[in-house]
Chain A
Amino acid sequence: MVEFNHKDLLGMGQLSVEDIELILDTAESLKAISTRDIKKVPTLRGKSIVHFFYEPSTRTRTSFEIAAKRLSADTVSLSASTSSMVKGETLIDTARNLQAMNPDLIVLRHSSTGAPHLLAREISASIINAGDGINEHPTQALLDLFTIRERKGRIRGLKVVIIGDIAHSRVARSNIIGLTKMGAEVTVAGPPTMIPVEMETLGVQVVPNPRDAVMGKDVIMLLRIQLERQSAKIFPGTREYAKFFGLDRQLVSRAKKNVIVMHPGPINRGVEIIPDVADGPYSVILDQVSNGVAVRMALLYLLIGGKQSVDLD
């Protein structure tokens, strides 16, 4: 059996194809727990997990909380406004103090790229990166891979297009690393102001115009347009974005017939996606959310579950 030999999950780059398959397979076997009457197994009984969210989050935070609780771990939740960060404590000091209480795992969401890497160097608890700056959001990429595999039966050879603000998206970067590693062909699209320099070096094709980019694709992945970016001079406004880059029915029809449409949430209805596409038959947006719990359960189990087997009975 493949072993998962990582102390932390900081980014998709550290995972091998076998690691990713192991995570997805484990998630598949854990998924059933969430549909049972009693949605709890004792696997992580006696383990403590700290959810440390420096940035606002609904989906990711709730998903991690639920995943931990379904595995019987004890959880504590901290946010920037309720932590000593508001008193001027540094990340390293906060982390060392948390470490002194001996948690098994810390889930960190932070606005700074590399913050989880800093934490992982400093303390011995396992760290899961729940989004760092504009860098990575590996658990999102893993749940996206899970959802694609569930819907399409495979990842290798699929044509995936990611549309939106690639430059400022940690979801995009993690997905690009994960998808290319698993053998998908990835295209990115969006206004050139939202495409980072030398993007091709990540192994993707850049086709800025979505009309061309979606042609023949199996998967369309949208990114949330961060409205606050408008002040960063990268686009004129949401009306213009929706008109030229928003996903509508016509655009979807240029992709493969059985295309699936994904979005990491929260969606801006009428900006990057029009409502009837978001709610339409192609959309797997809510499957992504359900699968997020299973994938995070798998990661918690693999990182701190030790040698125990999962009790599925």
Chain B
Amino acid sequence: MSILIKGGELINPESGTIEQSDILVERGKISKILPRGTIEEQGPRLTTINATEKLVVPGLIDMHVHLREPGEEYKESIATGTMAAVAGGYTSVACMPNTKPPNDCRSVTEFILRRARGAGLARVYPIASITMGQKGLVLSEFGDLREAGAVAVSEDGYSVVDSELMRRAMEYARYHGLAVICHCEDRSLSEGGVMHEGVVSTRIGLPGIPAASEEIMVFREICLARLTGTPVHIAHVSTKGSVSLIRKAKEEGILVTAETAPHYFALDHHALMGYDTRFKVNPPLRTPADVQAVRQGLADGVIDVIATDHAPHSAIEKDVEFDRAAFGMIGLETALPMTLSLVREGVLGMVEAFRKMTCNPAGILGIQGGGIKEGAPADLAVIDADIEYVLSEEDFHSRSKNSPFIGMPLKGRNDLTMIGGRIVWQESGKHTGC
């Protein structure tokens, strides 16, 4: 069976081009990319997808999600999480290791991959924990984990407190070809805090988390990257100080990359004024000046990646007193419209925006995807950039509904997701996969 995607505006972040081209998909791969209207529209089993006035982009890649399986399937499962992913235009996601049990050994990595194959939706790339049980004491078996299919290591949710252990983790991960992703938080400064420490926390009487808690660890990881010569990736950058530390490190040639998430460029700590736990996230929503710095960092390339930090939590964790509520928000189904808003506001060019959601994370993780070229697996998304809509709880495919963007006007939506030539999601008629 072959599929012709015609009439769309093809955005190729890898080559940096926007073309008016049609794509022919055969046997799961992109077989032809030719100028609009020049591909023969006949053939025995040809399906045609009309992408007129739509964008055709490489399937999005999210290098920071929480799929909650094994252990917390009531919040999300690999099946529901990857369903949310394909609905949002993602064809690949990298899942963080803080499951129950944590992904610190071969059997958990294999389990995740088996469940992902069973779900048959987005490609799943497991990220293993740096230390056994995320306890910060003994390194996980990186070699075995790599063999089993892990692509990176991260202690997500924590920083490795012991600096020597972190140094050794970097050296050892590099040997095994694993990317190192750093959650930057000095817990001794952030403990007890539930929102950014600043004018709003002072006003509404919630214990604060200072920006320094993040920045201290960003600086340490940069120092260790320089010491070890290992590339490190800084997760969910949220402060002006972090952006400036990473900028300087890059100028000095240190191998550091960085990501942020839509809530850090779209929302600030004033969102907490009503004690709505949907806005409780770690790192916390910061000040408007931090938001501005994150946007600037995205614009000038200091921040390489827009990830989601998709963190599903159920009403059990969220419909409680603010300080008892879990940190985190879902993001797979809203990251695309939020990123397109950056394009409309002139922060990012269209190609650059999609780089940060496709080839940049692919390059950091060393995984396939991120481009549109003949011979490559047909991982694609077709996007309607102009449609305006409002999401309600029922619209989400994630098992959890903790989105800060419910009820907000959004613009731009994924219409179709194709993975390996298979259409796994179509907005009209909803999902077709499984």
Contact = CB atoms under 8 A, between A and B. Distances in A.
Give the size range of A's interface with the partner: 20 to 34
A134 B206 CA distance: 7
B215 to A, nearest CB: 15
Interface stretch (A65-73, A110-118, A179-187, A250-258): A110-118
Interface residues of B, number: 21
Contacts of A136: 205
A115 B321 contact: yes
Nearest to A112: B321
30 contacts: A90-B319, A91-B320, A91-B321, A92-B319, A92-B320, A110-B321, A112-B322, A113-B205, A113-B206, A113-B275, A113-B321, A113-B322, A114-B204, A114-B206, A114-B275, A114-B322, A115-B321, A115-B322, A118-B321, A170-B205, A196-B201, A197-B197, A197-B199, A197-B201, A197-B202, A197-B210, A198-B198, A199-B202, A201-B203, A202-B203
Interface in B262-277: 274-275
A196 B201 CA distance: 9
A134 B205 contact: yes
Interface string A192-217: 00001111011000000000000000
Residue in A114, A134, A196, A202 whose Cβ sees the most chain B Cβ within 10 Å:
A114
Interface of B: 192, 197-199, 201-208, 210, 274-275, 319-324
Contacts of B207: 134
A112 B323 contact: yes
A126 to B, nearest CB: 18
Interface string A57-70: 00000000000000
Contacts of A202: 202-203
Contact of A117 (B203, B274, B319): B274
Given A113-B275, A201-B199, A135 B320 contact: no
A265 interface: no
Given A114-B275, A197-B197, A173 B205 contact: yes
B324 A112 contact: yes
Q: Which 6 A-B pairs have the closest CB atoms?
A: A135-B205, A114-B275, A112-B321, A196-B202, A114-B322, A198-B199
Contacts of B197: 197
Contacts of B274: 117
A112 B203 CA distance: 15
Interface string A234-245: 000000000000
Contacts of A134: 205-207
A191 interface: no
A114 B195 CA distance: 13
A112 B206 CA distance: 9
Nearest to B207: A134
B275 A118 contact: yes
A229 B428 CA distance: 58
Residue in B202, B203, B320, B323 whose Cβ sees the most chain A Cβ within 10 Å:
B202
Contact of B206 (A118, A135, A197, A199): A135
Nearest to A10: B275
A117 B275 contact: yes
A39 B346 CA distance: 69
A139 to B, nearest CB: 16
Contacts of A198: 198-199, 202
A135 B200 CA distance: 12
A115 to B, nearest CB: 5
